[in-house]
Amino acid sequence: MADAISTLRGSHGPQRHHVLTADFGTPNLQKLDVYRRCGGYRSLEKALKAMAPEEVHAEVKASGLRGRGGAGFPTGTKWGFVPKDVPGPRYVVVNADESEPGTSKDRYLMENSPHMVLEGALIAAYAVGAHQAWIYIRGEYDRPHRLLTDAIAELREDRILGPKPFGKDYSLDIQMYRGHGAYICGEETALLESLEGKRAQPRSRPPFPAVKGAWGRPTLLNNVETLANLPWIVAHGGAEYAKFGRERSRGTRLLSVSGNVQRPGVYEIELGVSFRHVIMELADGPPPGRRVKVFWPGGSSAQVLPESMLDLSTDLDEIARAGSMAGSGGVIVMDDAHCVVKAAYRLLRFYAHESCGKCTPCRTGGDWAVRTYERILSGEGSAVDLQILDRIQESVQHGRCLCALGDSAGQVIASTMQHFHDEYEEHALRGECSAEVPRSVEKPPEPARPRRGERAP
């Protein structure tokens, strides 16, 4: 049941900086005719009929667009890695395996404007010389899968997919592929293994997917949101896009804001606004009487930042300089009624469960960390357990694992221990928790005050 209201918790509509979400909320935007009335597929038509692939590539380079999946790698540079002179098939693969905890923006895009995602994928295919795109979508995304499948059928019927889209002698096709429940598939080489029908275990690189990707062929892998920017960039030019944002963080991006805020949602922001703006204004901050204790700026894998860092910019490099990462744009907010050690334990259970098992530090480190957290949280902990956690986080980071999953787990441990060491000590040495306010107890909100382990703002 398409419920226009419930797909739109966040920001949308015509605003100066709304590149992606300007038309969201238009009734039946998911349908091809409505999308085209809003200007849809004019960019694909323009690219095919009036631009050489190199010109499309040049606009993307000029836009300064960086990948929105997590790594923030410059999109134009990535496109350049796909070799031009290799005969035979090549592919565009859309990474729609969104599963970084706290991240829901790709779902938001696919549910509100599936055709925008498809148009972006087709523009990318033309630019890198591919005729076939695959959308690898996580199996739990039933509704986005249905909407994209219907949208692809509409494109076939309208011959936008087929041998001659818009009369241009350049065949285009898109196929869907459903994942079946594995966080690791968001990692691009694991995704390719899964697309090839295997257990999704990351490959060692090189060779990189651009050279040897899906079924051994040159493959461009881009995230849903990255591709969704392309219709706008082709329509208005890369230079116009680059007017949004700052420094090396150009354009706008979607932030999924969740956790202890009064207006959780997916918000399109111009890069460079502060997290205070995002969390306290757009998402309306924590419930009355509560304060932000900690936030994850870019999905659960990003290092936590304490309340004192709220004025940090959303600029990707600024976040990196502050010791965390912009990641997937999943902003998770936790207020002062919650315990950091328990939150870290929750996330470590996740990373341990989702470890693919291929490399040893990640496979054993995750389980080891979970057992250590369980000892600490059950009041059986000791100072040794804190040393163990520290050893584990060191052992799974800094390139010791095949992919970033190990680093992610390690970053959760390291950053929570760094900012909230006294909360860890309280649990491990004394078996106490002064942080948590039990949910079942109907306690009136307390006046705002600094808590243990929290730096004064």
Q: Which residues bind other proteins (CB under 8 A)?
A: 1, 3, 6-7, 9-10, 89, 98-104, 106-107, 138-143, 146, 175, 177-183, 194-200, 214-215, 217, 256-260, 264-266, 296, 300, 330, 332, 334, 338, 343, 346-347, 350, 353-354, 356, 439-440
Sequence letter at residue 235: A
Sheet holding 132-137, edge to edge: 173-178, 132-137, 91-96, 219-223
Task: Report in angstroms how near the CB of residue 193 gets to other proteins at its nearest.
Answer: 10
**Residue 206: is the preceding peptide bond cis (ω within 30°)?**
yes
Closer to other proteins by Cβ: residue 80 or 360 = 360
Task: Report in angstroms how near the CB of residue 60 gets to other proteins at its nearest.
Answer: 26
Instruction: Give the Cα separation of 22 and 11 in Å (integer).
Output: 9
Structure tokens at 38: 């809003």
Task: Report in angstroms how near the CB of residue 142 gets to other proteins at its nearest.
Answer: 4
Instruction: Give the Cα separation of 12 and 329 in Å (integer).
Output: 17
Nearest to 9 by CA among 337, 261, 302: 261
Task: Report in angstroms how near the CB of residue 100 gets to other proteins at its nearest.
Answer: 7
Closer to other proteins by Cβ: residue 44 or 182 = 182
Instruction: Give the Cα separation of 91 and 266 in Å (integer).
Output: 30
Helix (H/G/I), strand (E/B), else coil: 228:
helix
Q: Which residues, 6+ apart, have CB-to-CB distance to 337 below 8 Å?
A: 260, 290, 436, 437
DSSP state, residue 379: T
Structure tokens at 139: 């199996």
Instruction: Give the Cα separation of 365 and 410 in Å (integer).
Output: 9
Helix (H/G/I), strand (E/B), else coil: 221:
strand
- CB count within 10 Å of CB 367 equals 17
Task: Find the DSSP H helices in 52-187.
Answer: 53-63, 75-80, 105-112, 114-128, 142-157
Closer to other proteins by Cβ: residue 167 or 181 = 181
Helix (H/G/I), strand (E/B), else coil: 363:
helix
Structure tokens at 91: 């592919």
Closer to other proteins by Cβ: residue 138 or 250 = 138
Task: Report in angstroms how near the CB of residue 35 gets to other proteins at its nearest.
Answer: 20
Task: Report in angstroms how near the CB of residue 59 gets to other proteins at its nearest.
Answer: 30
Closer to other proteins by Cβ: residue 144 or 245 = 144
The greatest distance separating any two alpha carbons of the chain, rounded to the nearest whole angstrom, comes to 73
Phi and psi for 168 in degrees, rounded to 5? -85, 140
Task: Report in angstroms how near the CB of residue 148 gets to other proteins at its nearest.
Answer: 13
Closer to other proteins by Cβ: residue 177 or 232 = 177
Task: Report in angstroms how near the CB of residue 4 gets to other proteins at its nearest.
Answer: 11
Task: Report in angstroms how near the CB of residue 78 gets to other proteins at its nearest.
Answer: 22
Closer to other proteins by Cβ: residue 7 or 63 = 7
Closer to other proteins by Cβ: residue 300 or 415 = 300
Helix (H/G/I), strand (E/B), else coil: 32:
helix
Task: Scan for tokens 């293994």, then name that residue.
Answer: 193
Closer to other proteins by Cβ: residue 48 or 403 = 403
Closer to other proteins by Cβ: residue 103 or 314 = 103
Instruction: Give the Cα separation of 30 and 87 in Å (integer).
Output: 36
